[in-house]
Amino acid sequence: MAFKTIIEPFKIKSVEPIMMSTEEQRIGFLKTANYNPFMLRSEQVIIDFLTDSGTSAMSAKQWAGIMDGDESYAGSRSWFRMESIIKDLTGMEFILPTHQGRAAERILYGHLGGKGKVFFSNTLFDTSRANIEFSGAEGIDLSIEESELVNHTYPFKGNIDTVKLEEQIKNHDLKNIAGVVLTVTNNSGGGQPVSMQNVKETSRICKQYGILLFIDCCRIAENAWFIVDREHGYANKTYKEVAQEIFSYADGALMSAKKDGLVNMGGFLSLKDKKLSDACKNLLIITEGYTTYGGLSGRDMEAIAQGLEEVFDPAYLNYRIKSTTYLGEHLHRIGIPLMLPIGGHAVYIDAKALYPHIPVHQYPGQALVCELYTKGGIRTVEIGSVMFGKYDEQGKLIEAPMELVRLAIPRRVYTQSHIEYVIEVFDKIFEDRSKARGLKITEEPEFLRHFTAKYELI
């Protein structure tokens, strides 16, 4: 393409106003929120990069589907549409609708897990790990070495280490291995892709030992984009064909449709085996709902069906990935240290490198989160010693391996000029970097402290 400007491949028909605020107002809002942007009211935020989950803008056809949804308890037309689209995409026979991703996880991992069982993964997402551990089972991450190196530009940093996988399999009693879970894209590092080669090799190992392979496919379309772009032999395939090939190597898939389903709520579990599906359907009926709606309304199912078709549109995927890359590359050019290469749905800033004068126990990540909010009204999240923070027996902070700040980009919500604005805010952040101040925690809960902790500026 001859033109370098990334235009959104859609027109805007319905708008939601952003409340504009001044830096002075935001200093007050943040103080009231005790320097924790989770406690801000959303209307105090100009650009919300807290998460890409459930924050997508739906299309006119999805909104039309909301009106058209069939709310019958059993045999809903909207269910049959959603089911047939997921069957076609995954090539799997048995589809179970759920109200979001973690409900599918609880059903599947709860059924296969239990005390003494183990799951292996490239990296388990936090709700996946929580559901596995809640069942009494253990989850072991086997990411490749390159994934730990912030500046290493390996193209498939999301891969599982298949050598380590085989070693682990040999070190465990086969009957205790509940399954292997490939998270595509891998959430760590902002959505690093998994290569087809890696999916194939993992599948070969699983088949050899008779182990079930599952795809956590929240960002399957974004992963397919990277395979077409970067992997030999896929340049002429469609994104959907690539996704279908990934699923063909697996025994099942779980999806939070709040990501690449382009909806605000929903998910599913799909399986190839009837016996496993029958067992999961029992649990579905007990905790989610009847098999033709799970935890969903008919209108939700219409929107998911439509979203799963729209997400594979090449114009959409190009805009999506290139817009995320554009943001990352421009921040890199300014001199902002970040994780490379840029992933699909987020940009991760290395706050420890940006603020070397702030010691880890004064939370450089949280300092950047506060700077981004006061300077530009941009809401982000710290992924470092606040989120993972634990104390040793002497009450001293155990430092996280990295002090990162995540900018997660909602789908179809912000335009190129919003992205330009964010880059401009970062110009100022970089200029004033030596003036940023650390924080002290004044109040914190026992678990998941990042959501509700209170801070003071130092």
Nearer to ligand PLP, 181 or 429 (CB): 181
- Closest distance of CB 391 from ligand PLP, Å: 28
Helix (H) or strand (E) holding 98: strand 94-98
Q: Is 127 in the site for ligand PLP (CB under 6 A)?
A: yes
Of 106-114, 123-131, 315-323, 438-446: span binding ligand PLP (CB under 6 A):
123-131
Q: Is 260 in the site for ligand PLP (CB under 6 A)?
A: no
Q: Is 101 in the site for ligand PLP (CB under 6 A)?
A: yes
Q: Tell me how far apart the alpha carbons of residues 45 and 30 are, in angstroms, rounded to a whole number.
A: 10
Nearer to ligand PLP, 100 or 159 (CB): 100
Binding mask 208-247 for ligand PLP (x = CB under 6 A): --------x-x-----------------------------
Q: Is 258 in the site for ligand PLP (CB under 6 A)?
A: yes
In this chain, which of 90, 122, 135, 187 binds ligand PLP, going by CB under 6 A? 187
Nearer to ligand PLP, 21 or 53 (CB): 53
Nearer to ligand PLP, 269 or 378 (CB): 269
Q: DSSP characters for 317-364?
A: HHHHHHHHHHHHHHHHHHT--B-SS--SSEEEEEHHHH-TTS-GGG-H
Helix (H) or strand (E) holding 315: helix 314-334
- Closest distance of CB 344 from ligand PLP, Å: 11
- Closest distance of CB 235 from ligand PLP, Å: 27
| CA distances from residue 36 to 42, 52, 127, 365 in whole angstroms, order as listed | 13, 19, 22, 12
Q: Tell me how far apart the alpha carbons of residues 370 and 350 are, in angstroms, rounded to a whole number.
A: 15
User: What is the chain's Cα-based Rg?
Assistant: 22
Q: Is 256 in the site for ligand PLP (CB under 6 A)?
A: yes
Of 39-47, 94-102, 328-336, 350-358: span binding ligand PLP (CB under 6 A):
94-102
- Closest distance of CB 409 from ligand PLP, Å: 14
Which residue do the tokens 């599952």 mark?
214
CA-based nearest residue to 125, from 202, 176, 191, 172: 191
- Closest distance of CB 232 from ligand PLP, Å: 26
Contact (CB, 8 A) for 193 and 158 = yes
Q: Tell me how far apart the alpha carbons of residues 272 and 221 are, in angstroms, rounded to a whole number.
A: 21
Q: Tell me how far apart the alpha carbons of residues 232 and 159 are, in angstroms, rounded to a whole number.
A: 16
Q: Is 125 in the site for ligand PLP (CB under 6 A)?
A: yes
Which token pair is 414? Answer: 């912000």
Q: Is 316 in the site for ligand PLP (CB under 6 A)?
A: no
Q: Is 53 in the site for ligand PLP (CB under 6 A)?
A: yes
- Closest distance of CB 77 from ligand PLP, Å: 24
Long-range contacts formed by 151-156: CB under 8 A, 24+ apart: 151/340, 152/340, 153/340, 153/341, 154/341, 155/193, 155/195, 155/226, 155/230, 155/231, 155/341, 156/192, 156/193, 156/194, 156/195, 156/198, 156/226, 156/230, 156/231
Give the binding-site size for ligand PLP (rule: CB under 6 A). 15
In this chain, which of 113, 179, 189, 267 binds ligand PLP, going by CB under 6 A? 267
* Site residues, ligand PLP (CB under 6 A): 53, 100-102, 125, 127-128, 183, 187, 216, 218, 256, 258-259, 267
